[in-house]
Structure formats: C-alpha cells, structure tokens
Structure 1
Amino acid sequence: MKKILFGLFGFIMMQSCSKNQLKYPETRKDDVTDTYFGVTVSDPYRWLENDTSPEVKKWVEEQNKLTFAYLKTIPYRDALKKRLTELWNYERVSAPFKEGGKYFLFRNDGLQNQSVLCMMDHPDAEPKVVLDPNALSPDGTVALNTFAVSHDGRYLAYAISRAGSDWVEVFVRDLKTGQDLKDHLLWVKFSGLAWTGDGFYYSRYDAPGKGTELSSQNTFQKVYFHKLGTDQEYDRLVYRHPSEGDRMYGAWVSRDEHWFVLFESKWGTRGNALWIKDLTKANDELHCVAEGFDHENGLVDIQDGILYMITNQEAPRYRLMKVDLRALPEVKKAELIPQKNDVLEAAYLAGGKLFLQYLSDVKNVLEVYQTDGSYVHPVQLPAIGTVLSFSGEPDEENAYYTFTSFNYPTTVFRYNTKTGSSEVWFAPRLDFRPEDYIVEQVFYNSKDGTRVPMFITYKKGMQRNGKNPALLYGYGGFNITMKPSFSTAVLLWLENGGVYALANIRGGGEYGEEWHEAGMKLNKQNVFDDFIAAAEYLIREKYTSRKKLAIMGGSNGGLLIGAVVNQRPDLFRVAIPQVGVMDMLRFHKFTIGGSWVTDYGSSEDSVQFHYLLKYSPLHNIHSGVKYPAILVTTADHDDRVVPAHSFKYIATLQEKYKGPNPVLIRIQTSAGHGGGKPTSVIIDETADIYAFIYRNMGIEPPAAR
C-alpha cells in the first residue's frame, strides 16, 4: 500500500506541474541596448552580469528557492541520490608517475570529496599521503589544481583552487617534514609550475579590481620566477609582451634542468609558438622552435639533446617532429613520423622508445616506435575505448597507462617496454557487471550528408520500441574529442533502463583539424545540425521517442543545448544546458572569453556578428514557442563561463515562455566551471538532474521502486 501511495503522490504532483505554470521570481528589466553595425540589440537583463551585487545575490536566492522547492516534490529524488552514492563508493587510483626520484599517485577511497596525492619509493610500495585537499576545507571546495616536485625530490609546489575558481594560490611543501614553507603566491591562473635550482617558473596576471575578481578580463599574462623563501613581490619577471594583452604564456623545464621552454599563444588564433633557452649558458637567448599562431605545437619531451614535438603544421591530423638542440642557434627541425589517416593525439617517451597515441574513428590505438621513427608494434589494449593517461621515464623499463570505456571502469595497466606485455596494476571493484551492457558505435548522416559517429550504450535486453528514456550528450568545439569513458553518473542512468548516446559532432577533434574547422565560426551551424540529426537518428531507429529524449551538454556544450532547443524545440522532452555560453555577442568581454574568438568569431566583426546573432541562445528565445522542460545549471564562482550567461538566458526564458513545462535554474554555490568539484556536490547535482528528467518524462525510475 505504501508503494502504491508513493507512486500516486508522484503522479498527482507530476500532473499538477504539467497543467499549471510555475510562478517564477520577477526579474527587473532595464532599457539597455547596443548597436552593432546598424542593428539595435536589447539587453534588458545586463544588470545580472554584476554577480557580486546584493540585488543579483537576492535574485540567485529566489531562483534557487523555487528550483529546490520543485525538486523537493519529486518523490524519488532521494532514492536516486542514495543509489548514486552506493555506486560511487569504490576505491579509485591513478597511474603512478615519477617526479624528483619518487613515485606519486592519486587515490580516492570512494566518497572523498577530493582525491589525495600520495608518494612512494617505488610503484609497489605502500603509498604515503603527501597532500590531502580534503583537510583544506570542511566542505571539500578547496581542490588541488596543479603541482610540481623539485628535481631533487625535496619540495612540492602546489596550487589550490577555492570554490571552483580558475584563480589559484601556490604554496610550497617540504616533503621531508610534511610542512608548508612561508611561500604564498596569488593571482595565478592557467599556469604550470616548472622547477629549476632554488625556485620555479609560473604564470600570473596583475591583481584584478576589488569585486571584479570573477568577471573582469584577464589580460597581459606574464611568466615569473619565484625563489624559495622570498615574498612574491620579489619574484623575477621572465617574460611578458610589452603591448599585446591577449598573449598567454606557459613555462616548462627539462628534468635535467638544461632546457627552458616557453609556450606562447594569442587570443583569436588556434596555434602557439614555442621558444627554447639553454639554462646552462648564462646569457643564452630564447630561440624560436615554432613560430606564429597558425599551428599547434606540443612538446613531447627532450632527451639527449633532441626535442620531440607534435604539430599540425602541414598535417591537419598531426605528425611527430624532432629538433636537434645541439645545433642551436640554428634550428634543425625534421619530420620523424609523418601524418597518418588516424589522428595523432599524444606521444610519450618511455624505456628508450616512443609511444604514439592515435585516434581511429574515436577509439584509441597505442603504437610503439624506436626513437629513429621505425615502427615496432602496437600495444594490445583490452577493449575498444580510451587511453586516459600514460606515464613512464625514458630510461626505465616499466610504464603505466589507464584505460576506460563506457562499460570498462577505469583500470591501470603496467607495460613492460622490453617484452611489450601489459598487466593489470590496479582494477577497481564496484557494483557493476560489464557484460550486462552493450556499447554500439553507429554512423549517421547530418543535414549536409556528412557522416557523423555516435556511441550508444544501453542495458542488454532493451527493446528498440521507442519507449526507452534516452540521454543524448554532445560538445562540438575547440578541437576537443568526446571519447568513450566510464562514468558512475551514466551508470545510474543505464541501470535504470536508460539509453546513453554520445554524438561526436563537428567542431571537436575526432578527425583532426579539418573536423574542427567544419564546426568553427561561420561553420558553427554544422555543429547544431549534427546534434539534431543524432536526435532524429535515435528516434527513427526507435531507441527512444521525442517524449522520452533528454539532451545535455556543458560549457560549449551548454551553448549547443541552448541553440538546438531554440531551433528544434519539438524534438526534445527535456534539456539540460550546463554552464553554457549563452550570450554570443558579449562572451569575449569576461575573464578569458576573448580567447574563444578562435572558435566563435566576434560580434565586433560585421559578418561574424550577423552569424552569431542567428544562433545565440539568449537572442533567439521567442514568445509563443512550446519549449521542452529545461533545467539550467551553473555556479556562482564560475569564472570560465561567467554565470551571467545562464542568468540572462533563464530570465529571458521565464519571461517569454508561458507553457506548462518548468524552465528552472540550479545555481551551485561555492563552485565553479566544474574542475575540482567535490564528490558530494557532483552526486547531489546528478541526482537532481535525473530526477528532473524522469519527472518531466513521466517516468518513475526502477531505483525508486
């Protein structure tokens, strides 16, 4: 009887919400307009861009009050959270890697908010805790962003992020005593840490104005050298551009401290320059190894005076090059391994050999080569999937890699570079049977006839009858590839009978730079067309139906969801745009947004302005349209894609949409764009998203029964 009443209550609540529109908080409108090339564009909610003002904070509280009140009425929300917590509670370990003569790894016992950094004398020794981010804040909102060990193994420089911000603070820990030194660096962002001698190189910005820390533009990044035991104000300026504020810099030092490498990139371009300096020569200058910003140039390693690098110059699917540093100042560059049909994603140096990681139809292949470029053999991977990481030393026999797929929990393998054999080094133990799930890769035609791949995962025995709840995910931008990987969050969806689909749409890096270019700037509509075609394929092939299809994407993927919902609101039942770029006319005015002009173009260009205006999610919401149920997610400390994008988007949607479907926003406090988000927050947010989806599909998930 209890179960019957429980289900009846949920049904009544669902019916009530479907017939009556929610009463949304009133959002003040101002008479604000901009004129672009003779076109006047209204921006009545611009005041929401001031995310630190008391009025905006009150608005956030009112929106969250409504959203969480709605979510609280979903009877199976707690059951979803309980089951997700159970699934998440298993030990996870990274592949070990060597720094400063010691081995390190990350470990999480299951439900720890942040993974713990551990140190070992050798890979099979008992790990000793070096840095536990969970001890840095009671709620898990302080996360380790990056770190580097001094080459003598004595010190750990580490950067922490607070509340998910991209801003980090750098500290130094004595690995012998376990105590932090007095060193404390501020206003560091998008930076590595590169040790040499008695200090390290890092990149930072000038301090922003008070109250604008999370929204003001980040310009004139500089490289500094910090000497241990000194105050930051005495750090030595190593490099900055005297007049171009849109340059970004990163530093790297070889393990023998012989070579200093400087990376330079520029907003609005797709590549980077690469400079090198001999640290053993007091007055040596920077030598340009790769110039300009038209091509990507990635450092692999430096060994025995040879620099190995990956580039897409004259090779849109990338090739491996070598530079003989012994010939400097002459730059002697030569092709070592030419471009292939597959995309070269990464290369590593281990055991005196080169390991090249390729992408073949969105599935990883790992191949071994001699350092002269001659092919040796492939690494036999355990299944169709993804190599997440690879670590090894040029002169050590064993290397380590992690492998994952939709139905293959992330596993660490040890690889012997002499015998060519792999063995499991760490396999997680969790409540999951891979044989219960099927992974398919299909290819479908987009609007213009382009063949697009998509992965579809579901529980064995599922009937393709159009009645299954389906979740379609996509990204489509910035040359980023969406590859097969295991996700506990997705597992909850699958075990409740859901279909999970990942569309490898244009704009990403699935087939190299040409695939990327096909979804950039004036080709951006291809991205949306590809995603819409993926949805139509799932419906046509009866994996699901329009009434059972949800779509989700984050960041650039949030833009994707906002755009396709405007263009085809009839195709989806639920939409979840996460931390999305929604205002395509003003994105470049905040924090690091100016660097995205590379992919999007800019409203300051007349041709690009008109194109952006056609699909900008904020500017294409119209009255009288039957929108699906929409739950926007963002965070108050997101200084990558500032929350104003989501704030203005939902305010406009709540103003213009008068139908019965809920259009809500869930604003996570003390969180950012996603990096370093505590486990507890991820579980809460995922359970809320699934509860919202199920409620608006009219489904009671099996986990709640």
Structure 2
Amino acid sequence: MDRVAQLRDEMRAGLDLVEAAKQPMPVGDAWLLHRLDPFDGSSVVLVGPQPGQLDRVLLRSRDLPGPRPTIEWVVPSPTGAHVAVGISTDGGEDATARVIDVASGAMLSDAVPHVFVSQVSWLADGSGFYARVSDRPLVDGIHPRVALHHLGGVTEHDDALAGAPKSVVVLPSGDALVVEGLGPTLTPTAIKRPGSDRWQPLLEPDAGNLVAMVRGDDLVGITTIGADRGRVVSIPIDSAADRATWTELVPESDGVARGMMPLDEHLVTCEIVNGAHRIRVFAADGTPDHTVDLPEPSGLDLLFGFGRGFGDPHVLPDGPASIVFHLGGFDRPPCPHRYDLATRELTPLMPVVRDERIVATWHRAVSADGYPVGYWHVRLRGTEGPAPALVYGYGGFNVAMHTPCHPTPLMPWLERGGCLLLPQLRGGGEEGLAHYRAALALGKQRTFDDLFAVAEHAVDTGIAAAGHLAFVGASNGGLTAGAAVAQRPELFRAVICAIPAIDLLDLPEHAVGSIVTEYGRADVPEHVAEWRRISPLQQLREGVRYPAVLVDQGEVDIRCPPERSRRFAERLSEIAGPTGRRVVLRERPHGGHVAGEGELWPVWLDFLITEVMESDG
C-alpha cells in the first residue's frame, strides 16, 4: 500500500465519526439528513420517520448525470412537503436549485440556474424561495441578483434588489430581510413584513455588521456597530436607521460575540474567549442569567479547520427553553448536545468519545508591530518539543478559525511525533472587528507578520524544531502560504499552497465584493503599489533556496483560477533548478474551490512527512 492510501485509511474512522455527528433536520413529520463521503465528495440525502430511522434515499449524487455531480446543499421547506437541493457538476460552484417532492421522492421540473455560494431561503408558506443567482454562467463572470422562484411557475427578478451583492433571508417570523454583503460584513438594508408587498428600508449598506432575527416589531441581533467585540441590540423596525432608538440588551464583554439566538424568554450568545467558545444565557431583556458550564477548552465547530463567519449559528433552538449544538474539543470529536436553560442540564445526544492522548495549550506570540497573536499548540502526550511542527492558518474575511476541535485529518501527523500550531491571525474574526480590519488592503502584511511571529515564538520556546516547520494555507490562506515561501524561505521547510490567491496583481475580475474589501481596489494606486510589494508571485527571486512547495489547485476553480497557480509553480521550479527543493503542482481534475478533507489531507501529509520528517535538506 502506498502512503497516501495508508494515510487515507488512518483518518477514515475519524472522519466517518465526524460525519456521523451530523444531526437530522425536521421535514414536516419526517426527518432528513445530508450525509457526505469526505473522501470522494459524493453524498446522499436520507429521509425517515425518526432521527434514528432514516431508511429512504431521497437523492444520491452518484445517480445524477454529468461529470462529478455534487449535492452542494439541502434546504427543506417550512411545511416539509419539499426539499430544495443545489446540484453542480464538474467540481464547479455553478449550482442549479432543484426541488424534490418528499412524499414521492420525485424531482420536480423547477430549476433555478447559477445559484452562487448561497443556499435558498423558503417563503414561510413553502410556495417558493429566494435565491442569490448570477444572470450568466459563473465562469463568464458573476453578476449577482436576487431571484424569487414560485414552485411550478416562474422565476422573478426584483429590480429593487439589483446592484450590490444581496441575499434575502426569510426568518421564522415570516419576515424577509434583504442582507447586503458577502460574509465579512453583513448588513440588513430592507425588510418585507408578512402580508406586505413592499420593502421597508432599514440600515444603510455601509452601516456595519448586524445579524438579526425579528421579535414583534423589533430586530434583535448581534452587531459590531459601536462594539469592537460585539453586542446584542434591539432595534425598532420603523426607526432602524436612527441609532438613538436602539436598546442595548447585552453589552460588549471580554468575549468576542460571534452568534446569538433569541428564544421565547431568553437570549443565548456564543462567544470566543482566549481561542475557545463560551455560551452565555440572558433573560429576554438582556439581564444576565448564567454561563453554560462547558469542559475547558471547548469548541462548537463541526469540522476541523473550517472557520465560521460572523453571525453563523453555533446554537439552534430546540423548543422554547432549550438549545442544541455540536460540542467538542481538541481531545473530543464533535458530539451533538442538548442544553436545558431552566435545569442547566447538558445532555449528549450520542456517546462522547474522548482522546486522552491529546494535549492542547494556548500561547501568545508578539508580532512585528507589538500585537499579541494567539495560537494553540496541540500534541500527543509523550511528544515533547522541539518537534516537527505543522502550522495551519487562514487570517481573512472575518472568519473565526481554530477554536477547539478534534484534529481528525491531522492525527497521522501527531501520531508520527509532530505537533500542530494553530494561529488566529489578523484578518480573521477571532479577536473582534479591529483584529479583522487591521489586515485589510494596506494592512495585509500584518497577517503574514503574525504567522512569522508564531513560528518564531514556537521555535524560541522549544515547542517546534527549527528547520522542521511546515505551513498549510488554502484560498486566502494560500496567499499567506505564498508569502511564507517568498518572504521567509528560511523559516519553513515545506509549504502547501492550496487553491491560492497567489497573484494579487491578477485577481479574477468576477471576484465580487468581498475580495474588493479584503485586498483593496485596482483603481486605488496605493493598493496596487502594496499588491506589487507583497504579492507572492512577484516576490520570487533568483538565487534563493525556497522551501519544498506543493501547489494544490482545482482545474475549474473560478475564485482562484488555476493559471495563477501554474505561473507560481513554474517560476519556483525555474529558480529551484535540479539542485533545489521539490516543487509539485497538483491539479485536481473536476476540482473547484472546495473539496473533501479526505481528498486533500492524505496527499498533503504524504508530502509534508517526506519533506519535514524524513528529509535532511
């Protein structure tokens, strides 16, 4: 057996356990689950009368036509009569929304093409759904607009919702919110109340982050407007633009508020404190009640290495006074739990598995400008430093990364004597709004400096072995990986640049909105000058001994197209020549910007083990 196959087998049980932790969702009187194979990207949609009795296949990706068909998302209607599914082919993200009748299992004729990076949002009566779509194939450029599709009928495009990237979210109250933005900043700009046919203005598009639900005639939500670390506010819908009418329910605290869930008589917040999650409970008016007693450190993410955007729901309601969430840690794979707010009883919904071998400690490094950068050091008991270290980072788009989560795909690295360094780099959302904004546009170098500070701190404190560090970064993290190669080649022995934004002077024209915010604008000379200074492709120089580099690229990736990765790998290979370290360009056929962990990590770890653990030079 070759080592890639061996590594795949080593991580299979763990990834299957994570997949098994996913909880079915109610569909009328039945239950539904979308189960993914993390190794080949195939999936199946199951339905049944009970959560533990999902005995009917509603849809299987392998039965769909086209090259590498993928079920991107599954959204049941509020009535449970129908399920909307996003289907793409060839590894792309150009999904077509289709509708399945749950009772018969038949796929209806309804089809909404070019749904981009977005699920649909059903109308309260299940008669149709909103979707964010492009008016042409995504490969030809993204021109976003909001579509309203009526089941069995036409798809309308509301001219009032044209312009900047928008989506419409229908809330449990039946209210429809127009939300502007693409992840880093989300602002509700209009609302359509139940029974109304007009959009009522709310906030200006540049007001800032607010993710809200409707309670009566108020928006209740979590916001960074007026609070770097977030707060919970109540906003009268009829005077939303007048901040003098807002009521602060939960003030800014020592935790970074990332999510909020209003219940009948309570508010529940999800926060990050020193790299780990915390859940707090308040009365409906914001009066503090209690902090949920969780094992320390704990995390609420389901998948290792996949961060969450601002406002993403970590906890979900389960009746008027209880919540459900996935609870895990570095030593505990995620497990669904129910928490009763009245009795304060925390109940696992499946057996909790604990990996007593894993030890995790929280550290702070000091970046070039004096900023304290937090990071987790993860190892197995008995593995003492200095050890070969794998650093995995992102640092972008206000995404919160590396809260405690079992490192399932990286267990083969730990079991071979390595350790993990999991930094919370500026540009991410782990430490608040200022932490995110510090690395925008002219500040992007701060993300890279934070990474270098963490690596140096780990070496200086005896955690990591000098000359035996690897870095892995994907997408925006691939830009950071490229910076590690170009700026600090002596610090890292090997680097994985995955689906990287590797050439800032040649960003894809159809990368709408969020990339403009993140990296700057091509019509601002200062931004272009900074791109030229820090863009990894432009920084490569003759005569430098660069790390071993694996560039992993999807052939049909529209966010980070393959031509840029090819140029980066070709230039590195030219500089390395016959005596330099390895440069490998891996292009995945039918591969886009997203792939299953089991498709990626076995190949990546094989490369890193060879270069960092087994190679002398």
Shared topology, TM-score over 0.5? yes
Aligned pair 1:185/2:98, yes or no? Answer: no
Structure 2 residue aligned with 1:579: 499
Structure 1 residue aligned with 2:335: 411
Structure 2 residue aligned with 1:277: 192
Question: Contact 2:240/2:246 (CA < 8 Å) preserved in 1?
Answer: no
Q: Matches of 1:390 and 1:127 in 2, distance apart?
A: 24
The 5 A counterparts of 1:493-508 are 493-508=413-428
Structure 1 residue aligned with 2:606: 691
Structure 1 residue aligned with 2:553: 634
TM-score (normalised: structure 1)? 0.79
Q: Pick from 286, 296, 315: which aligns with 1:373? A: 286
Q: Matches of 1:113 and 1:189 in 2, distance apart?
A: 19
Structure 2 residue aligned with 1:202: 131
Deviates more, 1:110-119 or 1:338-347: 110-119
The 5 A counterparts of 1:141-180 are 141-180=68-107
Aligned pair 1:92/2:20, yes or no? Answer: yes
Structure 1 residue aligned with 2:476: 556
Structure 2 residue aligned with 1:422: 346
Distance 1:587 1:569, change over 3 A: same
Deviation at 1:86, TM superposition (A): 5.0
Aligned pair 1:622/2:541, yes or no? Answer: yes
Deviation at 1:667, TM superposition (A): 0.9
Distance 1:329 1:579, change over 3 A: closer
Deviation at 1:136, TM superposition (A): 3.6
Deviation at 1:657, TM superposition (A): 2.9
Q: Matches of 1:119 and 1:375 in 2, distance apart?
A: 40
Q: The residue matched to 1:585 in structure 2 has which SS?
A: helix
Structure 2 residue aligned with 1:44: none
Aligned pair 1:662/2:582, yes or no? Answer: yes
Structure 1 residue aligned with 2:145: 222
Q: The residue matched to 1:434 in structure 2 has which SS?
A: coil
The 5 A counterparts of 1:479-490 are 479-482=398-401, 483-490=403-410
Structure 2 residue aligned with 1:647: 566
Structure 1 residue aligned with 2:307: none
Q: Percent identity?
A: 26
Distance 1:352 1:180, change over 3 A: farther
Q: The residue matched to 2:505 in structure 1 has which SS?
A: coil
Q: Matches of 2:177 and 2:377 in 1, distance apart?
A: 42
The 5 A counterparts of 1:315-326 are 315-325=227-237
Question: Contact 1:270/1:598 (CA < 8 Å) preserved in 2?
Answer: no
The 5 A counterparts of 1:7-18 are none
Deviates more, 1:367-376 or 1:157-166: 157-166
Question: Contact 2:182/2:513 (CA < 8 Å) preserved in 1?
Answer: no
Distance 1:160 1:92, change over 3 A: same
Q: Matches of 1:139 and 1:537 in 2, distance apart?
A: 49
Q: Matches of 2:592 and 2:44 in 1, distance apart?
A: 20
Question: Contact 1:265/1:273 (CA < 8 Å) preserved in 2?
Answer: no
Please tell me the residue identity of whatever aligns with 2:501: V
Question: Contact 1:640/1:673 (CA < 8 Å) preserved in 2?
Answer: yes
Deviation at 1:329, TM superposition (A): 11
Please tell me the residue identity of whatever aligns with 1:229: G
Q: Pick from 383, 387, 390: which aligns with 2:300? A: 387
RMSD: 2.8
Distance 1:615 1:458, change over 3 A: same
Deviations 1:529-556 (A, max 9, x none): 1111111122222223233111111111
Deviations 1:473-526 (A, max 9, x none): 111111111122223211121112111110112111111111112222111111
Q: The residue matched to 2:464 in structure 1 has which SS?
A: coil
Question: Contact 1:561/1:575 (CA < 8 Å) preserved in 2?
Answer: yes
Deviation at 1:159, TM superposition (A): 1.2
Question: Contact 1:164/1:671 (CA < 8 Å) preserved in 2?
Answer: yes
Deviations 1:279-317 (A, max 9, x none): 313x4x312222222411212x22344332222111121
Q: Matches of 1:290 and 1:127 in 2, distance apart?
A: 43
Please tell me the residue identity of whatever aligns with 1:537: H
Q: Matches of 1:516 and 1:272 in 2, distance apart?
A: 17
Whose radius of gyration is greater, 1 or 2? 1
Distance 1:503 1:138, change over 3 A: farther
Please tell me the residue identity of whatever aligns with 1:94: K
Q: Pick from 195, 220, 225: which aligns with 1:313? A: 225
Aligned pair 1:334/2:247, yes or no? Answer: yes
Deviation at 1:248, TM superposition (A): 0.8
Q: Pick from 179, 189, 192: which aligns with 1:263? A: 179
Question: Contact 1:222/1:240 (CA < 8 Å) preserved in 2?
Answer: no
Deviations 1:373-407 (A, max 9, x none): 11111122233121136454475444211012222
Q: Matches of 1:241 and 1:292 in 2, distance apart?
A: 12
Please tell me the residue identity of whatever aligns with 1:418: A
Q: Matches of 2:260 and 2:452 in 1, distance apart?
A: 35
Aligned pair 1:531/2:451, yes or no? Answer: yes
Deviations 1:648-675 (A, max 9, x none): 211222223324211111111112112x
Structure 2 residue aligned with 1:455: 376
Q: Pick from 511, 518, 524: which aligns with 2:438? A: 518
Deviates more, 1:548-557 or 1:335-344: 335-344
Structure 1 residue aligned with 2:306: none
Question: Contact 2:34/2:74 (CA < 8 Å) preserved in 1?
Answer: no
Q: Matches of 2:27 and 2:235 in 1, distance apart?
A: 25
Deviates more, 1:658-667 or 1:84-93: 84-93
Deviation at 1:115, TM superposition (A): 4.9
Q: Matches of 1:354 and 1:97 in 2, distance apart?
A: 22
Q: Matches of 1:329 and 1:587 in 2, distance apart?
A: 35
Structure 2 residue aligned with 1:355: 268
Question: Contact 2:147/2:156 (CA < 8 Å) preserved in 1?
Answer: yes
TM-score (normalised: structure 2)? 0.90
Deviation at 1:699, TM superposition (A): 1.9
Q: Matches of 2:63 and 2:421 in 1, distance apart?
A: 38
Question: Contact 2:48/2:56 (CA < 8 Å) preserved in 1?
Answer: no
Q: Matches of 1:629 and 1:254 in 2, distance apart?
A: 49
Distance 1:588 1:687, change over 3 A: closer
Distance 1:444 1:266, change over 3 A: closer
Q: Matches of 1:691 and 1:140 in 2, distance apart?
A: 28
Deviates more, 1:132-141 or 1:516-525: 132-141
Structure 2 residue aligned with 1:49: none
Q: Is there any run of 5+ residues in structure 1 with no aligned partner, and where?
A: 1-71, 701-705
Q: The residue matched to 1:546 in structure 2 has which SS?
A: strand
Q: Matches of 2:417 and 2:541 in 1, distance apart?
A: 35
Q: The residue matched to 1:426 in structure 2 has which SS?
A: coil
